[in-house]
Amino acid sequence: MTRVYLVFYIISLSFINFYGQDCVYDDYHKYIKEAKKYITSKKYDKAKKKFSIAFESVKIPLGKDLDDAMNLSRKTKDQEMTHKLAIWMAKGGIPLTYFQKFRSQNWYSDFDKRFSLYDSIYKSQFNLEYKRRITELIAHDIDFNEKYHDWRSGKLDMSLNEMISEAKYIATEFENLINEYDLPIDKKIGYYYDYKKKQISFLPIEVLIIHIHQRGKFLIKSEQIMLLVCNRILNEQFKDLLPRIKGFSDEESIEAEMTLRYSKFSKKQ
């Protein structure tokens, strides 16, 4: 029994060390949470202070939190805070078009002149090739998923081979990206800007991961889920939800899953 407890202790200790080593945002998240509570209670000066402490506590503040702080700075008309946040964002890859709404503020002219410097820092610090490939893969997955549902509803034809091939490509490309570059977190690829919505957002990777799992390939492990949650790429509920997500087949096989789907839904068309 003592030996069992010892093994459990060693495993637990290794897990804690792994999480602590790879996740540097524990205190950061605490400060962000406090800042948002102060915003809710309209104690804006205290919220600004907590945001500042959070951002100074890490090397790479998370993009969506910078955006939340930016909204607060605009609400309180704090140009000094807005300027500082803009520089952080620009160094993380947010395009100049996002900042043009601040052209009337007294800091914008100097910021505009220096933007090429901030952009060069972004390009030297982050992996733009990874960002391009993961963004294109997410778009490809969305397109394939729409085609799949159009096939299910009888709006277009799709062969089983095409279905398997597309599902395999998406899973394999995602696996290759993770193996080559590690997980797509802010400190790897910089901040995600949604050009359609014209806003800073989280990298929309949740649906991609869910689709890959549902199609019969379980790529993301528990420790990777925790790291993605820590970096706010995944919602905290995914710690429990994602390991339970699966498709129709009991096999971990894209061929088996897509073949079962093809047999199940082609009869209903």
Q: Which domain holds residue 174?
A: 128-266
Q: How confident is the model at residue 269 (pLDDT cuts 50, 70, 90)?
A: low
Q: Same structural domain for residues 136 and 261?
A: yes
Strands 192-194 and 199-201: antiparallel
258 CA to centre of own chain: 27
Kindly state the average pLDDT of the residues 235-243: 81
Tell me: pLDDT of 83 over 60.
yes
The number of distinct structural domains making up the chain is 2
Same domain flag for 52 and 102: yes
- Look at residue 19 in the predicted model and tell me its pLDDT: 36
Same-domain status, 98 and 158: no
User: Is it the case that residue 17 has pLDDT exceeding 50?
Assistant: no
In the chain, which ranges are continuous DSSP H helix? 2-22, 26-40, 44-56, 63-75, 79-91, 96-99, 108-125, 128-152, 160-181, 186-189, 206-214, 222-230, 238-241, 254-266
List b or e across 13-32, with b for residues whose CB sees 16 or more CB atoms inside 10 angstroms. eeeeeeeeebeebeebeebb
Read off the pLDDT of each residue in 23-35 and give the average, rounded to a whole number.
Answer: 93
Q: Are residues 199 and 253 in the same domain?
A: yes
- Looking at the structure, do residues 80 and 39 belong to the same domain, yes or no? yes
Give the residue from 109, 125, 141 where a domain finishes.
125
Helix or strand or coil: residue 23?
coil
Q: For residue 181, is pLDDT > 80?
A: yes
- Tell me what pLDDT residue 238 has: 80
Q: Are residues 161 and 31 in the same domain?
A: no
Confidence grade of residue 73 (pLDDT, cut at 50, 70, 90): very high
Last residue within a domain, chosen from 125, 155, 189: 125
- Residues 37 and 160 reside in one and the same domain: no
Domain boundary among 74, 105, 125: 125
Q: Are residues 153 and 234 in the same domain?
A: yes
**Both 165 and 99 in a single domain?**
no
pLDDT in the model for residue 93: 97
For residue 11, is pLDDT > 60? no
96 & 138 share domain:
no
Q: What is the pLDDT of residue 237?
A: 82
- pLDDT at position 223 is 85
Q: Identify the bridge partners of residue 201 per DSSP, sorted by sequence position.
A: 192
Residue with tokens 């998240």: 29
Instruction: Express each pLDDT in 137-175 by its tens digit.
Output: 999 999 999 999 999 999 999 999 999 999 999 999 999
When pLDDT is averaged across residues 72-80 and rounded to a whole number, the result is 97
Locate 113 and state its tokens. Answer: 């002149």
261: left (phi over 0), alpha (psi -120 to 50) or beta: alpha
269 burial class (0-12, 13-18, 19+ CB within 10 angstroms)?
exposed
Q: Is the domain of 206 the same as that of 112?
A: no
By residue count, the chain amounts to: 269
Q: Taking residues 32-58, report their average pLDDT.
A: 97
Structure tokens at 258: 């897509």
Shared domain check, 120 and 132? no
Backbone Cα Rg of the chain: 22
Average pLDDT for the chain: 89
φ, ψ of residue 193 to 5 degrees: the values are: -115, 125
